[in-house]
Chains A and B, each alone.
Chain A
């Protein structure tokens, strides 16, 4: 079953120069997809369009077999959740519990159910001890964890991470990424679209979509992309550590073509003479 299908989507903020030029893509249910590309390539715009936050005139977006239009807007929004970049600007409630409850209030959930859900999801993201804390007492990573809770508490089919880790310190970053991975294991049907500059994260996803100047250049498995030196140089991408290591080993004359993770390479290194 397809989770998101986009056909020939064109969008422009000012009506003159388009930021998206005929984008088409299709994502399967439960996929972890990374969208990479430089600033201004239209990644974030694409995310906002999927949520129906921007009005578009050309192209179609189909989420969960429903076409995105005025009638289906609220239904689709209930199935798509997003975590934005700036932790401060998406914290709506006065305290952690109010913020998580805000999502539920919008769904018109009865209060008793809300109380248990707030507790459940706060503990899932490890913020149970901070329920009554105000955002000014939380670190960026903690705020982002709350943001993930507020997104997941609505039980979405699709989770979009719009550069969610880019304003965090390395600790906060790895915290959020491991949290997302854990959530993915808990709910394998969750489709995750991660818009990211973090090449390590992209390397660990199921699929990479490379965008450049409003067009999708490439959709493939991460390993395929990083095999292609020409593309990497052309779009000035960083190379993940594993790929770099593989290349170095290859230059030293080792046969590493079928080894793609750090563990496999490690095995090989300590076993070699």
Chain B
């Protein structure tokens, strides 16, 4: 259950919390895309990602996102890191510099570039996690669904029922804690009847899990029936005209935030386009090589 704490909404009253969720989603997408822009030289790439990293740290501090839960979620990533390392080390890449050989495994030469490459990817993945964490821990899940609904409205032209999808999503979100409680209750009930969820081999555990999943599904289905009755009784008609209680509004802060993010995005894009031809900001290269080669 503890894994679920990752990215859970934490109620604070910061600027980031107050931003319009629609704006936040858009900004998140822009930042995510800009992280995965690739420039040609290592040092440029390092400087740019480092710059983005610092900005993200700044936003996290501003939004009171806990670094502890970030580390917690990163500790779950070590399998991925290992996997990436193995992939990068054992798949030969002609682009690697043949001089940069770290060590040999048998006859196979392991290149330094492989580590750098893998590290770079992992670094960007970490930043990706940071961005999504900033979004989910500063935005109520309900506000996210309202924002998604807003983004889906153009689909109404092709008769896509965006409001129904949003309603379904919001009900699903609303019932997560209820179903978690239910899971705990069924687990206790089954444990008291002698089911052991924590010991034994894989097959035994899966068997134990079945005794949890089936009652959970049965209760969820009967719940959904009661819920639909309650909704109908309160006059819900998915195809009828409904007014809205929650209204999303775009404030001046949103504009400031948006301009800021677009500026970052624009800067990254400029680097990406001008990189090869005109802008060699290969500072590190200059520092370490007395005679620059341009």
Which residues of A does B touch, CB under 8 Å? 48, 51, 53, 74, 77-78, 80-82, 84, 86, 88-94, 97-98, 101-111, 114-115, 118, 134-136, 150-151, 154
Contacts and interface: CB of A to CB of B under 8 A. Distances in A.
B231 interface: yes
A104 B170 contact: no
A84 B243 contact: no
A150 B234 contact: yes
A108 B243 CA distance: 4
Given A89-B230, A93-B174, 18 more contacts: A77-B235, A80-B233, A81-B233, A90-B226, A92-B174, A97-B245, A101-B245, A105-B245, A106-B235, A106-B240, A107-B243, A108-B241, A108-B242, A134-B177, A135-B174, A150-B234, A154-B234, A154-B235
B174 A74 contact: no
Contact of B244 (A51, A105, A151): A105
Interface SS majority for chain B: helix
B232 A74 contact: no
Interface string B138-179: 001110000000000000000000000000001101100110
A94 B140 contact: yes
Contacts of A150: 234
Contacts of B141: 94
B227 interface: yes
Given A74-B237, A78-B235, A98-B142, A91 B174 contact: yes
B223 interface: yes
Given A53-B229, A92-B230, A106 B237 contact: yes
Contacts of A101: 245
Nearest to B178: A88
Contacts of B142: 94, 98
Contact of B243 (A97, A104, A118, A136): A104
A105 B255 CA distance: 30
Contacts of A105: 242-245
B247 interface: yes
A110 B243 contact: yes
A135 B178 contact: yes
A51 B234 CA distance: 10
A98 B234 contact: no
B246 interface: yes
Interface residues of B, number: 30
Contacts of B242: 105-106, 108
Nearest to B173: A94
Nearest to A160: B233
7 contacts: A51-B233, A53-B229, A78-B235, A86-B223, A90-B227, A98-B246, A114-B245
Nearest to A132: B11
A74 B245 contact: no
A54 to B, nearest CB: 9
B236 interface: yes
A89 B229 CA distance: 9
B233 A89 contact: no
B222 to A, nearest CB: 9
- Which of the listed residues B141, B223, B245 has the most CB atoms from chain A within 10 Å of its own CB? B245
A157 to B, nearest CB: 14
B177 A74 contact: no
A198 B5 CA distance: 42
B173 to A, nearest CB: 7
Contact of B234 (A86, A102, A135): A102
Contacts of B173: 94
B247 to A, nearest CB: 7
